[in-house]
Amino acid sequence: MLPQETIRRKRNGEPLSREEIARFIAGITDGSVSEGQVAAFAMAVWFKGMAREETVALTLAMRDSGDVLDWSDIDRPIADKHSTGGVGDNVSLMLAPIAAACGLAVPMISGRGLGHTGGTLDKLESIPGYTIMPSAALFRRTVKDVGCAIIGQTAALAPADKRIYAIRDVTATVDSVPLITASILSKKLAAGLRSLVLDVKVGNGAFMADAAEAEVLARSLVEVANGAGVKTSALITDMNQPLADAAGNAVEIANCLAFLKGEKAGTRLERIVLAFAAEMLVSSGLEADLAAAEAKAMRALSSGAAAEVFGRLVHALGGPADIVERADTYLAAAPVIRPVFAAESGYLASCDTRGIGLAVIELGGGRSRPDDAIDHRVGFDRLLPLGTRVERGMEIGRVHAANEADAARGVERLGALYRVSAEAPASAAEILTRISA
């Protein structure tokens, strides 16, 4: 069937067969389907959706567009975690080394920024020398020797997804449940996982702003992954404010290193990271219950074992051996750093989290087109959490910018994205729902 016929049928809301989907994905892989046709297909799916059987077929076709890894020579449970995307969401950077320090093997295939959300790979490229696209041999050796590796999609792993992913980013087709499900799971299934934990975010900084929509996505992911033989659960988490106290690339790496050195204890970020570590340990069978698993993860963090693993990971993939100890030496600083002050006294009641993500892009820390270069230095840090009591003129965050004009715009932009109230807001739970098969 011609690609345009597949697009037409989906545009008209007709169900696509497994064979039809497989042929279309094969065309994306070999280049016989054009970029415009991929964009049209993505938009048709966005409007008309896909039945569960179609989503499974799409996921498996994208998985089988390249190699599927085999980790049978590694004597550790093979596990991973994936987030649907948020602002200031650097959880994977700390979670992978914590999980590895607890005895898991974590071959993490990550992505770049998508829409207003940051990308793990873009953050890691802030580290000089870090290889996000290692050879298959180096990737395998790093997972075996260090316990984890965080890399990008190689040409051999789910290549159809890599092409679709870049096009979705710039065609307003990111927030489609079937496309998100197939994109996430095709990479994870190709990575040869035995268990998977999903972070499905909901709120004004997530692709899913509605709790009911987030649950639909979480159930889609869990059902499709379990149906494909990977033990999977999901936590629906709050994204109504940045998760870390930083949003950007180098600033989130700095936050990660501070976290691993114990400097972010008691934060929302720590509670989320430890919760996902516990899920991974229980799902993989290394621990019997979540309380014991979380205690084990906390020991890996507080003992410095996780920080050591992160340092070994960076060095194994080409970065400096002493990144943990000498981060300031290696992470490039923005030329202009300016504080942002509260315009009035009261409590930080709410913020436009998506707006913060877009403001990072406006500073140069994200992309408007797939081939845009990123300035890894720019972004925001020292962001205060919602509920904080502030006085007029008190610092609520900082802007990292390439020049004075960008800094001035960033200061004005960030200040306008927070609302101060005379009353303290109700505290929000970080984890809203847990979903399992």
Catalytic residue among 23, 163, 187, 296: 187
Strands 79-83 and 389-390: unpaired
Active site residue 201: no
The SS3 of residue 167 is: helix
Active site residue 284: no
Measured CA to CA, the distance from residue 113 to residue 130 in angstroms comes to 17
| R_g over Cα of the chain | 21
Best CA proximity match to 240, nearest among 352, 342, 348: 352
Q: Count CB atoms within 10 A of the CB of residue 303.
A: 12
Catalytic residue among 55, 84, 92, 120: 120
pLDDT digits (tens, 9 = 90+) for 16-65: 999 999 999 999 999 999 999 999 999 999 999 999 889 989 999 999 99
Active site residue 169: no
In degrees and rounded to multiples of 5, residue 140 shows phi and psi of: -65, -45
Question: Which two tokens mark 317?
Answer: 């993939």
Catalytic residue among 10, 23, 63, 81: 81
Catalytic residue among 116, 140, 163, 168: 168
Question: Residues with Cβ < 8 Å from 428, sequence gap 6 or more?
Answer: 238, 240, 386
Global model pTM greater than 0.85: yes
User: What pLDDT, on a 0 to 100 scale, did the predictor assign at position 208?
Assistant: 81
pLDDT at 369 over 90: no
Q: What architecture is domain 333-421?
A: Alpha-Beta Complex (3.90)
Residues in the chain: 437
Averaged pLDDT for residues 156-175: 88
**In terms of pLDDT, which residue wins out, 84 or 401?**
401
Averaged pLDDT for residues 92-99: 98
User: What pLDDT, on a 0 to 100 scale, did the predictor assign at position 370?
Assistant: 67
Q: What architecture is domain 79-327?
A: 3-Layer(aba) Sandwich (3.40)
The SS3 of residue 40 is: helix
pLDDT at 433 over 70: yes
Domain boundary assignment for the chain? 3-49, 79-327, 333-421
pLDDT at 267 over 70: yes
pLDDT digits (tens, 9 = 90+) for 371-411: 778 999 999 999 999 999 999 999 999 999 999 999 999 99
**In terms of pLDDT, which residue wins out, 155 or 220?**
220
User: What pLDDT, on a 0 to 100 scale, did the predictor assign at position 355?
Assistant: 96
pLDDT at 155 over 90: no
User: What pLDDT, on a 0 to 100 scale, did the predictor assign at position 114?
Assistant: 65
Active site residue 135: no
Sign of CA dihedral 320, 328, 411, 86: positive
Active site residue 413: no
Best CA proximity match to 104, nearest among 187, 229, 197, 225: 197
pLDDT digits (tens, 9 = 90+) for 324-335: 999 999 999 999
pLDDT digits (tens, 9 = 90+) for 297-311: 999 999 999 999 999
- Asked if 277 contacts 97 with a C-beta cutoff of 8 angstroms, the reply is no
Active site residue 83: yes
pLDDT digits (tens, 9 = 90+) for 166-212: 899 789 898 788 998 999 899 889 989 999 999 999 999 998 888 99
Question: Which two tokens mark 426?
Answer: 């109700």
Catalytic residue among 55, 59, 63, 80: 80
Measured CA to CA, the distance from residue 146 to residue 139 in angstroms comes to 10
Active site residue 315: no
Catalytic residue among 29, 59, 83, 92: 83
User: What pLDDT, on a 0 to 100 scale, did the predictor assign at position 46?
Assistant: 96
Averaged pLDDT for residues 355-375: 86
Report residue 14 CA to chain centroid gap.
32
- Asked if 330 contacts 136 with a C-beta cutoff of 8 angstroms, the reply is no
Catalytic residue among 10, 23, 63, 82: 82
Measured CA to CA, the distance from residue 259 to residue 269 in angstroms comes to 9
Measured CA to CA, the distance from residue 37 to residue 14 in angstroms comes to 17
Averaged pLDDT for residues 244-266: 97
If pLDDT is split at 50, 70 and 90, which confidence band does 115 have? low
- Asked if 64 contacts 182 with a C-beta cutoff of 8 angstroms, the reply is no
Average pLDDT value over all residues in the chain = 94
User: What pLDDT, on a 0 to 100 scale, did the predictor assign at position 187?
Assistant: 86
Active site residue 82: yes
Active site residue 187: yes
- Asked if 115 contacts 132 with a C-beta cutoff of 8 angstroms, the reply is no
**Domain at 3-49: CATH code:** 1.20.970.10
Residue 267 DSSP symbol? S
35: enclosing H helix or E strand: helix 35-48
Question: Which two tokens mark 82?
Answer: 């994936």
pLDDT digits (tens, 9 = 90+) for 204-250: 999 888 899 899 989 999 998 988 889 999 999 999 999 999 999 99
Measured CA to CA, the distance from residue 73 to residue 84 in angstroms comes to 30
Whole-Å CA distances, 87 to 191, 253, 303, 351, 392:
25, 14, 28, 12, 26
